[in-house]
Structure 1
């Protein structure tokens, strides 16, 4: 892979590390870290875990507080919501806000905290396991894990009970936002299938295009469907059985969500062993998820895993980066791992001989690929982090090095942006984005040497 970025000197790298810490400090609210001050002024679920990965190495108080504050918004049924709203500051800058979600209509919602009514990928146990492994004070980290363990267990039980009611082995999501990949091409067929009478779309005013160029964000028809789904949930007071049984138009067994749940169960089993709890239920669940993903979500023709549309009873054949990420949880066997790498190492996702930054979020050969539109092609640092962690286990060293370098070089070239152009390295979306800074810090702190190879 012909790296288009210049080499970084040790002095520049040290300055980059300090800049990353400055980003997190600037986004600190006093009790949690915002993804960004303007676009995302509240606390997001999986963002906070990625942010805690970075804090773990140099500010264990912040790492613990980040997760502790998130769990304060946990619902009574165990769900960790996508957003914990900071009602004292900047609530007018984000839509949909707490007044639109009306999560308080659910008897399961927390009593004194406003939240959204959906969740995000379950990477939380992995965040706690990371804290135990890398925090300077292991004894304190284990004590924190003991404190948070019942909440992690309740979160996993919610997913098993409410999102896999038939105990099939895979959980479903009910909104594109729950995947973390909001406007991915994965959802195009489903969203186009949903016919909505205009009167069923509540009046709303978008805030996201006030800070970012509209062509970088989801389209209005996409956003109309997002809002329609939120209204569908709130009309049923976020009762999972009613949502499921009232013909919810979006029910998907998502590759990334289930991959991260599999890994989280593996990590929760390790946490249980460390603190003297029974690890077996989590090991069993992780194996069940992996087996079902291999059975139902693998698409041999595409050499990757794909989502499953429960409403249409068929696989969704979208060629997205998340289709490779089951390697993060060691789900594929050796043969499939090799097939995954052979597809990943093509022009579609930045081949070793290409001049580009790995890895785009969507196949570059796709007719609707876009280098700058949200989840339809740009490089995301969190996805690269997951890819890096997965690939490095299996000896794909040259590609691993390039993914690692892109995590460092993209912020060096373009600042701590939300996402990046795979060809030029240009940054898009919001500036000073927290998980971009935090995951760069995590990579560098975990290395014996911070020299760019």
Structure 2
């Protein structure tokens, strides 16, 4: 299939004809209805059926879209999430709604037991959460929410409230999670980088003995097609890793053990899965730049954030850039070796403003080349190598295109001057999101909806992109 630049279709019931302005207005109205329907009063669920709680990086993307509807609600979204932050600085990947039945989602609060198992790490005693984290998009989201309405943000003291929490979150990642010792943050579970069952994790997960199938119940299969979801074997390994982390009190290192030498991760990090992920660290770098902007706005010193962003960028390139692949690759810290699978996470460093020119040029070639086909064989960037041995156009993170990731790629393209390509991708996101009923993800070649529909971050990035096409210097909707 050749990528198309057809205009976004009107949502069902509105009619496909009409002016470009009318189509855009209909798409905006439909996206707004999704976010309004998924709002709980204090935050937004990704999906009432499949994901009925608050998710960390979902809320960051959702807040960016909500700011185009209600800056105050967008602020509330982030403040609700940050209200569940642990004393050690981590922002948990799920904040559980106590009104939702335990059997509606697994792993449920009684699995994570955060208020008891995480007490030493400073888990809130009165809010149940998970114990792992997700990509640090939050400072970027907070800055974009502020920029959407600086007057309301300033009047409400939004940045003053979130800045200390966001700096504590980054401090946690820079210290507790620098398990490779090179300055990059590490992830301890496949759910943490957000791309849950990417083929990148297949090799590291082979070391993990799965939890017995009888020890857990997969609520996701009640609302999702098994062909779209991780396998039972993968899920058993996810459960084992989470159980082991919980039993260690969610400690990232073992402070009583000697530091090992000769490998990336010493015996102070007794985890079966430890990976440096380029997408996770790219979001951290961009969010450090956002913290610098926030600090400057608050009359505080931005230099520490800028210095950390520079140091992270240097480490990212030295550690994870592979010129022969034309891509950033994940690094397995248990073996000290790169993971050779090509994931869209390797394109996300396009978000980073200070990459070397040769790296940017190579990433742009890779994005449009045979492995991702962006703008040629695919309209949206797939989550995994089109030519990879494990490519699957329908299974979760093993090939489908995700709207939040393509939103990030669009920002990266635009930042590095690939404006026509950014405009094409923006147009494809809007078209595919509307045509798919705001799907969770889509087949990257056909645009067929996969996963659930009326998905919050899909609607959110649509609202942001529609708003940005109307802002000076951002390109137009063709």
Task: Tell me the TM-score normalized by structure 1.
Answer: 0.95
- Stretch of structure 1 that moved more, 413-422 or 395-404: 395-404
Contact 1:135-1:141 at 8 Å conserved across structures: no
- 1:59 is aligned to 70
Aligned 1:378-393 pairs, distance under 5 A = 378-393=400-415
| 1:268 Cα deviation after fit | 0.4
CA distance, structure 2, for counterparts of residue 425 and residue 33 of structure 1? 25
Contact 1:131-1:141 at 8 Å conserved across structures: no
Q: In the alignment, is residue 44 of structure 1 matched against residue 55 of structure 2? A: yes
Secondary structure of 1:176 counterpart: coil
Aligned 1:375-414 pairs, distance under 5 A = 375-414=397-436
- 1:194 is aligned to 208
Q: In the alignment, is residue 125 of structure 1 matched against residue 139 of structure 2? A: yes
CA distance, structure 2, for counterparts of residue 246 and residue 347 of structure 1? 38
Task: Tell me the TM-score normalized by structure 2.
Answer: 0.90
Gaps of 5+ in 2: 9-19, 256-266
Number of aligned residue pairs? 450
| 1:6 Cα deviation after fit | 3.8
Go from structure 1 to structure 2 and tell me whether the alpha carbon gap of 1:136 and 1:350 turns closer, same or farther (over 3 Å shift). Answer: same
Go from structure 1 to structure 2 and tell me whether the alpha carbon gap of 1:351 and 1:112 turns closer, same or farther (over 3 Å shift). Answer: closer
Aligned 1:1-400 pairs, distance under 5 A = 2-4=2-4, 6-8=6-8, 9-104=20-115, 105-107=117-119, 108-135=122-149, 137=151, 140=154, 143-164=157-178, 168-196=182-210, 203-242=215-254, 245=268, 247-354=270-377, 356-400=378-422
- Stretch of structure 1 that moved more, 401-410 or 74-83: 401-410
CA distance, structure 2, for counterparts of residue 440 and residue 35 of structure 1? 15
Contact 2:93-2:131 at 8 Å conserved across structures: yes
Go from structure 1 to structure 2 and tell me whether the alpha carbon gap of 1:141 and 1:405 turns closer, same or farther (over 3 Å shift). Answer: farther
| 1:94 Cα deviation after fit | 0.5
Secondary structure of 2:338 counterpart: strand
Contact 1:252-1:307 at 8 Å conserved across structures: yes
Secondary structure of 1:349 counterpart: coil
| 1:323 Cα deviation after fit | 0.4
| 1:139 Cα deviation after fit | 5.2
Go from structure 1 to structure 2 and tell me whether the alpha carbon gap of 1:141 and 1:168 turns closer, same or farther (over 3 Å shift). Answer: farther
Q: Deviation above 4 Å: which 4+ runs of structure 1?
A: none
CA distance, structure 1, for counterparts of residue 155 and residue 394 of structure 2? 39
RMSD (CA atoms): 1.9
CA distance, structure 1, for counterparts of residue 313 and residue 214 of structure 2? 39
Go from structure 1 to structure 2 and tell me whether the alpha carbon gap of 1:193 and 1:220 turns closer, same or farther (over 3 Å shift). Answer: same
Gaps of 5+ in 1: none
Name the one with the larger helix percent: 1
| 1:155 Cα deviation after fit | 0.7
